[in-house]
Amino acid sequence: MTIKRVTVLMGGASTEREVSLRSGQAAGKALEEAAFTVTLVDVGRDPAELVRTIAETRPEVVFNALHGRFGEDGCVQGVLNLLGVPYTHSGLLASAAAMDKGFARSLFETHGIPVAKGRVLRKGEASPLPRPHVVKPLNEGSSVGVYILKQGDNRDPLTDWPFDSDQVLVEEFIPGRELTVAVMGDRALGALEITSERGFYDYEAKYAQGGSRHIMPAPIPPEDYAEACRLAVAAHRALGCRGVSRADLRYDDTVKGTRPRMIVLEVNTQPGMTATSLVPEIAAHAGISFPELVRWMVEEARCDG
């Protein structure tokens, strides 16, 4: 069947709403260049309204450009499964598993994928990790709410954090370099290094123009480059992802005379599609244009039910 009508879901009610709007607009433009008939839908908080809108637009496929809660955590995937409408990116189970950082890291450990030392704590518990260490909410993306607690830092996010949750993940801080790998189907498209003068690849570094610098391909030894790609695909498979995902890793080459250490931080099942996004940049280096990338995603779309 030739697919013509695509509805792009964007916006949403999460902390990543503005990024999602940009992703949706950029993806919608690329889809039109790929000869699809596109309808953009700004998703609000009312699921009944979402169902009505999807029914009205009669999509053959939904391109899910939502980020964060509701759009990336299995909720909207469940709605689309019930409606029987194929959609891009991962299904309900993989989306929920990847969004829960504590569960995802346990799954990675089970599959032999290296992760940072850490544990999930309830609000008010003291962290057992020495500083510096990282504090992050369990179910936010784009580095929203992430703190690096250093020696002499008087903040106490474990007691009074701005997260809508009773639990938080604390992990050892891994020095070194920030890598990200795009996975398309069952293969890695390549590994990119991210640098930022902010010293931390936070929300502003991710989305502000000039907030970070991308080096593609990542300037690391060939065997380490291959290992980063292997781990990204392994993490994608461990979660049961489909379509496109992006794995974020730390590459610790700070200890001279020893093999560099590679750590998987997380997998993004709904990677950004903005002007500064990483997956389209990695895909372009692999010879895949943005319209070609979104066309492939639409053609691979399906639902779980």
What is the rounded CA–CA span in Å between residue 191 and residue 33? 27
> What are the φ and ψ backbone dihedral angles of 281, each rounded to 5 degrees?
-70, -45
Which pTM value belongs to this model?
Answer: 0.89
- Least Cα distance to 11 among 41, 34, 32 occurs for 41
- The verdict on domain 5-89+293-299 having CATH code 3.40.50.20 is yes
**Contact 139/69 with Cβ under 8 angstroms?**
yes
Residue 197 is a catalytic residue: no
- Catalytic residue chosen out of the listed positions 11, 12, 16, 202: 16
Residue 207 is a catalytic residue: yes
Rg from Cα positions in the chain: 19
Residue-wise over 133-165: b if at least 16 C-beta within 10 A, else e? bbbbbbbbbbbbbbbebeeeeeeebbeebebee
Residue with tokens 């889809």: 31
What is the rounded CA–CA span in Å between residue 203 and residue 205? 6
What is the rounded CA–CA span in Å between residue 270 and residue 33? 21
> What are the φ and ψ backbone dihedral angles of 142, each rounded to 5 degrees?
55, 30
Please give the pLDDT value at position 97: 96
Please give the pLDDT value at position 35: 96
Please give the pLDDT value at position 201: 45
Residue 16 is a catalytic residue: yes
Half-sphere exposure of 259 (CA within 13 A, CB side): 6
**Contact 263/252 with Cβ under 8 angstroms?**
yes
Residue 266 is a catalytic residue: yes
Per domain, the residue ranges of the chain are: 5-89+293-299, 98-114+175-288, 117-173
**Contact 61/298 with Cβ under 8 angstroms?**
yes
- Catalytic residue chosen out of the listed positions 20, 95, 139, 142: 142
> What are the φ and ψ backbone dihedral angles of 116, each rounded to 5 degrees?
-75, 150
Helix, strand, coil fractions of the chain, as percent rounded to 5: 30, 25, 45
Please give the pLDDT value at position 148: 86
- Catalytic residue chosen out of the listed positions 266, 277, 281, 295: 266
- Least Cα distance to 27 among 56, 67, 55 occurs for 67
pLDDT digits (tens, 9 = 90+) for 12-23: 988 889 999 999
**Cis peptide bond N-terminal to 132, omega within 30:** yes
Residue 142 is a catalytic residue: yes
Both tokens assigned to 65: 């450009």
Residue 203 is a catalytic residue: no
pLDDT digits (tens, 9 = 90+) for 35-68: 999 999 999 989 999 999 999 999 999 999 999 8
Both tokens assigned to 117: 């030392």
- The verdict on domain 98-114+175-288 having CATH code 3.30.470.20 is yes
- Within the chain, which residues score under 50 in pLDDT? 142, 200-208
> What are the φ and ψ backbone dihedral angles of 284, each rounded to 5 degrees?
-60, -40
What is the rounded CA–CA span in Å between residue 106 and residue 117? 11
Same fold for the domain at 5-89+293-299 and the one at 98-114+175-288? no
What is the rounded CA–CA span in Å between residue 281 and residue 182? 9
What is the rounded CA–CA span in Å between residue 158 and residue 123? 6
CA angle 262, 101, 11 (to 5 degrees): 115
Residue with tokens 């919608």: 28
